[in-house]
Amino acid sequence: MRKRREKENSGFNVWRSYSDMMAGVLLLFVLIMCVSLFQAQVSYENSLKERDEKLFLQEEYTKEIMSQQDIMENQQSQLSSQDELLAAQKKQLDELAAKLAAQQEKLDAQSVTLADQQSALEEKTTQLADQQARIDKIIGVKADVIEALKQEFAANNINVVIDETTGSMVMDSSVLFDYNETDLTGEGQTVLSSVLPIYCSVLMQEEYFPYLAEIIIDGYTDSSGGYEYNLELSQRRSLAVAEYLLNLSQNFLDTENQEKLKERLTVNGHSSSNLVLDENGNENAEASRRVEVKFRLKDEEMIEELRSILDT
């Protein structure tokens, strides 16, 4: 708008200069006419006395007047040219004003677009901040749960390895089951009765349970035998552990929490997938035959998705 006003003021100054110039020319014309009339009057009075001389002088004055007329015509022509030039300049100024108006309109539209984009960016930033807060909360809760599990097992003098990242607890199938069997051994029941109550009691604590999505029991086998056979074997073994846990829960959970445990409990059989390999890349069959107990917190899928995006 400021540039537009400056352009308009510039056009106004041009017209004012033009008006001043025209007034000057008119004043010059009037002065010339006054001088001419005065000289004519003097010439006329002198002609009465000296007619012969006056005739000669009159001719000279006539030539001078004609010369002045030519000058005035030239000046008039110059003024006409200047008028045409001013008209052309005014046209250019009008075109520039139209362009400036169009550009201003475009800038206004861009300003609206930028404002919308800024609003969308601020909204997205707020969403990302909220998601980051949720992620930090989930990550913090998971770290707290894993640390609580480790401390609780240590307090009970039970040597259990808890994965620092997933919080999973791995149990050797050879301890829980006889080879190719799905019924828990006496030793296996003893092991489960010592570790499962501690593991589940920590997860069912009031500060952690609202974030708990699943308690997962996964069964795995080695690569010997067919895939379908191993799939059924791994499923039946993980189911046997789950059934033992539910029966055992009557000893360390009240009725309400027993129902909550059932709602969160998930059982999977994975056959011979995800084999455990030794340092040379060969299958460790004994380690591959295992049962894993782990947990999943709510919104972990979102965290994993964001991690995959950040890793790409």
Helix (H, G, I), strand (E, B) or coil at 155: helix
Q: Which long-range contacts (CB under 8 A, 24 or more apart) does 285-288 make?
A: 285/222, 285/223, 285/224, 286/172, 286/174, 286/222, 287/172, 288/220, 288/221, 288/222, 288/223
**What percent of the residues of the chain are helix, what percent strand, and what percent coil, each to the nearest 5?**
75, 10, 15
Return the higher-pLDDT residue of 35 and 295.
295
Enumerate long-range contacts of 16-20, CB under 8 Å, 24 or more apart.
18/82, 18/86
What is the CB neighbour count within 10 angstroms for residue 142?
Answer: 20
127: helix, coil or strand?
A: helix
The values of phi and psi at residue 184, to 5°, are: -65, 135
| 3-state secondary structure (DSSP) of residue 134 | helix
* pTM beyond 0.85, yes or no: no
Of 163, 185, 162, 161, the residue nearest 173 (C-alpha) = 185
> What would the pLDDT profile of 10-52 be if each residue is shown by its tens digit?
666 666 777 777 777 778 878 888 877 787 777 777 777 777 7
Residue predicted with more confidence, 119 or 276: 276
- pLDDT, tens digit (0-9, with 9 covering 90-100), for 221-248: 999 989 999 999 999 999 999 999 999 9
Question: Is 302 in contact with 135 (CB distance < 8 Å)?
Answer: yes
* pLDDT (tens digit per residue) in 73-90: 888 888 878 888 888 888
- Residue with the two structure tokens 């445990």: 261
